[in-house]
Every structure is written in structure tokens, then in C-alpha cells.
Amino acid sequence: MSLGNLPLAEDFVKSAKKALYFSAKAHESAAKVAEKKLNDKKTAGTHYQLGSDLFLATASMPDRAAELMTLAGKMYEDIDLEASIQLHLNAIVIYETENRGRFGLEEFRYLCSLLVKNNRYDKAIEILNRLSFQCVKLNNKVELCKTYLSILLVFLAKGDDVEATKQMDNFSQDSYFTRSPEFSAAEKILLSFKEFDQEKLDKAIRDPAINDLNSNLRKLAYTLTVPGFSRNVLGIKSNDFSESVADKLKSPVLNPDLAKSDELSNQNTYKNTFNNFSVEDDDDGGFL
């Protein structure tokens, strides 16, 4: 086999990669114009995706490829949710296959938040499990604890407290997790489910560890209810269960006896007032 033309081949590869790079940059620029100037998110999404594919084809810019794929996903969120989710998944796959997980943690979190927001709980759990794998691989214990807590919250939102308890047992094999604020929060939340105690749950979800999660996971936590309880029956305030129940029970609609008592009280007040006026009217003060 002759290697005489090897330098020529290398030059050709370099030229090809350069062409791919400039083509990718052109699509990226076109996407920004469509997004910022024309407010055409669909066109912007198409160009971001093409730019991502071309950056990936250079075999030297996986991070930029993943970033553009993420932007493509964001462009489609209000247009085509399924396409948006798939594009975000594509971005995650790039980080995973190119061994760039440490740069993709934010995208994992973002996609999880998007899935939770749209009630795609099964897919959210899948992404969180993939995130936990990356955290273990990177020895990122802090992020791993948050991910464990997030998984438990999503299982509870699904109504599967049994599986949440099983997952808690598995996560508890990690001694770092058992010493973390996330473990303490999860333990209190699961205990309230075990005891069917909504008031205890409402207190548990105020834990600072919950506040450290992203906004959609926090909102998810605030909507949790123990089995057999519904906030919608009485319109219970989620942030003050006891006070809300007391207020609702004082409502005449829910307590007819209280309504009758108030009505009798009003009638007696009117009667006494009328009698007082009658007495005063009989005493004319000597003017008549």
C-alpha cells in the first residue's frame, strides 16, 4: 500500500472539516437572525439543528454541537413539544456518547424540568436516572443527592409511593446521601405518606432542600397530597392546611347549623333594635 499521497489526504480532511465548520457557523448565524430579528422560532430551530449536525460532523466540537441542539429544542417548545423533547434528548445523547457528561448536567436538569412541567413523569424519571449515572461517574455527590430527591418526588407525583419507598431504600445504600439535607427532606415526606398525614406533608415540603431544586420540581412538590386527600374538595390552602380547614368549616355553605345560628342572631339583633326604637317613640319627651 502506497503512502505517497498521505499528506494530500490529510490536507483534504482538514479542508473538509474547515468547510463543515464554516457551514455550521453559517447555520448558527442564520438561526440567530431568525430567532432575534424575525421571531421565527421554527426556522431558527431548523438552522440550530443543522448547525449542530455539522459541528458534530467535524469530530472535534461535540460541546458546541450539543449546545446548538439544546437551542433547537428550546425553539420548538411552544410549537411542537414532541419535537422539542426529542431535540433535547439528542443533545443529551451527544454529551453521553462523547464522554462530555460534566458539561451536560445543566441540559439534563433542563429537560427534566420541561418533562415535569408537561406531566411526562415516566420520561422525567428516565432522564433523572441517566443524570444520576453521570453524577456517579463524575463523583458529583451534591448533584447526585438532589437527583435522588427529585426522583422520589416524581414517583410520588405519579401516585406511586410504594416505588418511591423502594427507591429510597436503594438510595440509602449511599452513606453520603443519608447524611445529606435531601435525605432528611425525603424521609419526612415519605413518613407523611406512610401516616396519611397531609399536615405533616405540607410542613415537610417547606424544607430548604426542596427550595434548592429547580422551579418546576418545587411546584411539583407543593402539589403533592397523601393518598385519599384532595385539595380541591374544600379548596384547601396548600401553605396552611390547619388554618384553611378551620376557615372552610366556618363557612355557612359547609355548616348550615352555623348559618342558622347567624340568622337567628341577626333576627334577635333586629328585634331588640326595633323594641328600643318603640320604647323611645313612646317617650315623646313632652313635646306632644
The predicted model scores a pTM of 0.77
Q: How far apart are CA 199 and CA 285, in angstroms?
A: 63
pLDDT at position 10 is 76
Burial class of 250 by CB neighbour count within 10 A (0 to 12, 13 to 18, 19+): exposed
Q: How far apart are CA 108 and CA 92, in angstroms?
A: 7
The one-digit pLDDT tens for each residue of the chain (288 residues) are 455 566 777 777 788 888 999 999 999 999 999 999 999 999 999 999 999 999 999 999 999 999 999 999 999 999 999 999 999 999 999 999 999 999 999 999 999 999 999 999 999 999 999 999 999 999 999 999 999 999 999 999 999 999 999 999 999 999 999 999 999 999 999 999 999 999 999 999 999 999 999 999 999 999 999 998 876 544 555 444 445 444 544 555 445 555 555 555 555 555 554 455 444 444 444 333
Angle made by CA atoms 83, 79, 33, in degrees to the nearest 5: 100
Q: Name the one residue in this structure whose C-alpha cell is 422539542.
A: 84
Q: How far apart are CA 47 and CA 20, in angstroms?
A: 14
Do domains 14-98 and 101-226 share one topology? The answer is yes
Angle made by CA atoms 34, 37, 43, in degrees to the nearest 5: 15
Quick one: cell of 185? 427532606
Quick one: cell of 8? 494530500
Residue 245, C-beta contacts closer than 8 angstroms, at least 6 positions apart: 234, 236
The domains of the chain are located at 14-98, 101-226
Looking at domain 101-226, its CATH superfamily turns out to be: Tetratricopeptide repeat domain (1.25.40.10)
pLDDT at position 1 is 46
Q: CATH 1.25.40: does it fit domain 14-98? A: yes
pLDDT at position 11 is 75
